[in-house]
Amino acid sequence: MSKKCLRPLLCCLFMAALVLPQAHAKPKSSTKPTETFQHRADAQQLAEELAQQLSAQGLDPKWVKNAVLKAHKLPVVVKLVTPPPTGVAKNWALYRSRFIEPKRIQAGVRFWQAYAADLARAEAQTGVPAEIVAGVIGVETIYGQHKGNFRVLDALVTLSLDFPSSHPRQAERQAFFKGELAQLLTFKRHGVNPLTLKGSYAGAMGWPQFMPSSWNRFAVDFDDDGRIDLLNSPADAIGSVAHYLKAFGWQTGMPTHYEVRLDPATLQLDDLMVPDILPTFSVANFMAKGAIPDAAGMAHNGPLALIELQNGSSPASYVAGTENFYVITRYNWSSYYAMAVIELGRAVAHEVGAHAR
């Protein structure tokens, strides 16, 4: 499936597309009151457009316009999404060390032990392994410890109007955030006050860091209390992450990746990298181009992708990614992110098993 086709659905994916490895840094928010947007012509136009759009969904146009125009500009948010200087090398080893570390693993063990029944039920219903769900929540928020302290309304209005012009896809990103702003305001229809919600600098919320459109489309009431609460219900977060990955094509029982060896004599690296992380090659074609998977990978029934993980000035690491690896990147468009999720979840599962023995 192409990125173009996926774009209307992609909600949690934006941060890693901006910059790696800063994508999951948890900045100390600077959210002191700043100027509002009420005197800006472009803000007034945006407020009018949203008021007209959302009035058809039952929202009071006056309330919509007031919410947008009284949002506070957050210069720190603009700074955080500004692309880094060119030439900054990606580094998997460094990126990995930020997530696969004792504090996060032990938090994951406590999370797993507390919500084992919910993780098992989510896996039974969706086929998404408990360790993958645990990996996602651990990478996103250290199991609810860092859910963000920016007012989401302020962040989304700021990014809708003042997204940095230095970004190569400024117009596309501004449109993305305008859509997320509209989705946020619709929370009011479900009894959630969108003006008070806190989240990340890009507007992601709760234990799983769902963007507003992800919340509206994929979140589930997994604890059966009659409401969806990704801010305070770990059970809802577990069910929602599993539902999200299932919706994007998770296949029960399929590994995420295999070990791979590159054969210098037959390697056609440029050809292998053309599809990027999209699984495209049959096992036979993969091997013919010099990428030799391990024994389990040779028996894989489905397409593979060669996943390259750069290590700064050191040699890159490679794995053979399956369609399930690609599904994890639909949560965040980054192979580095996907590997961090996989390895953190695996480390937590290992420790849980060790505690059980």
Instruction: Determine the Cα–Cα distance for residues 276 and 265; give it in Å rounded to an integer.
Output: 22
From 15, 71, 20, select the one nearest 42 (Cα to Cα): 71
Pairing mode, if any, of strands 257-262 and 291-293? antiparallel
Instruction: Determine the Cα–Cα distance for residues 169 and 216; give it in Å rounded to an integer.
Output: 25
Instruction: Determine the Cα–Cα distance for residues 295 and 286; give it in Å rounded to an integer.
Output: 14
| Residue 268 in tokens | 């056609």
The helix or strand, by DSSP H or E, that contains position 314, with its residue range, turns out to be strand 314-321
* Three-state secondary-structure class, residue 54: helix
Count Cβ atoms within 10 A of the Cβ of residue 113 and give its class: 0-12 exposed, 13-18 middle, 19 or more buried: exposed
Instruction: Determine the Cα–Cα distance for residues 177 and 211; give it in Å rounded to an integer.
Output: 10
Out of 123, 131, 140, 180, which one is annotated catalytic? 140
Would you call 140 a catalytic residue per the annotation?
Answer: yes
> Nearest 5 degrees, angle CA 124-CA 251-CA 112?
40
- Catalytic positions, please? 140
